[in-house]
């Protein structure tokens, strides 16, 4: 079996990945053209050629990673046929790892930055809308009586839990899992 190697990442992809790696390390405002260029191994002049401004680069990097964080973990859970089991698997997947995981730190930094950046806020909101819709559709297909309230409650609870976990890394997800799986179980035929 021949494994075909992946093509090397484009300059644009290297720049975006470098910015995404830097956000949790140095904070939103610490991501500068110079730092991104050093991390990506490119001349700082090409950054503006490939993405425009440093603000736009931060937005692109953050939104792509946030989508991947949520949609990747939730997609695995929604391969389940049993709604309560899927909700439990989703929550466990989102709650694994260290509260200082780079993906979580990027999420936290991005949410704070979104309070001052309307475009970033709109892009993150669009990702969360997509997530809620995806969850709503899956819950509908699996017979949950009130899928929209369940989808909104689950996503809001996850957001709140992740933020609380940042402050209290020892916060146990078990009570949240118990409460949300019970909510879904009550709505099954």
Identify whether 116 is part of a domain.
yes
* CATH value at residue 69: 1.10.357
Matching residue, tokens 């970033």 = 120
Residue 152 clears pLDDT 80, i.e. is over it: yes
- pLDDT per residue over 84-97, tens digit each? 999 899 888 877 66
Identify whether 65 is part of a domain.
yes
Identify whether 96 is part of a domain.
yes
Q: What is the mean pLDDT of the chain?
A: 90
> What's the predicted TM-score (pTM) here?
0.84
Residue 5 clears pLDDT 80, i.e. is over it: no
The secondary structure of 47-110 as a DSSP string is HHHHHSSHHHHHHHHHHHHHHHHHHHHHHHHTT-SSHHHHHHHHHHHHT-S-TT-HHHHHHHHH
Domain span at 95 = 61-186
Number of domains in the chain: 1
Helix (H, G, I), strand (E, B) or coil at 189: coil
- pLDDT per residue over 82-132, tens digit each? 999 998 998 888 776 676 788 889 999 999 999 999 999 999 999 889 989
Residue 1 clears pLDDT 60, i.e. is over it: no
Q: Which residues fall within 8 angstroms of residue 94, CB to CB, at 6 or more apart? A: 70, 73, 74, 158, 161, 162
Radius of gyration of the chain (CA): 19
Q: What percent of the chain has pLDDT over 70?
A: 96
Identify whether 92 is part of a domain.
yes
For 124-143, give the secondary structure using H, E and C. Answer: HHHHHHHHHHHHHHHHHHCC
């Amino acid at each position: 079996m021949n494994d075909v190697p992946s093509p090397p990442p484009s300059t644009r992809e290297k720049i975006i990945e470098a910015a995404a790696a830097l956000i949790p390390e140095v904070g939103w405002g610490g991501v500068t053209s110079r730092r991104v260029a050093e991390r990506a191994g490119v001349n700082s002049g090409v950054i503006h050629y490939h993405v425009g401004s440093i603000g736009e680069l931060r937005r692109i990097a953050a939104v792509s990673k946030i989508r991947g964080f949520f949609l990747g973990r939730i997609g695995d859970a929604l391969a389940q046929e049993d709604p309560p089991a899927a909700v439990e698997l989703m929550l466990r997947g989102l709650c694994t790892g260290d509260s200082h995981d780079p993906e979580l730190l990027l999420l936290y930094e991005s949410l704070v930055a979104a309070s001052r950046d309307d475009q970033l806020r709109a892009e993150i909101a669009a990702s969360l809308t997509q997530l809620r819709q995806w969850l709503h559709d899956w819950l509908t297909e699996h017979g949950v009586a009130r899928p929209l309230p369940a989808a909104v409650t689950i996503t809001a609870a996850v957001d709140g839990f992740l933020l609380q976990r940042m402050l209290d890394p020892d916060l146990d997800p078990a009570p949240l899992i118990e409460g949300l799986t019970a909510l879904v179980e009550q709505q099954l035929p």
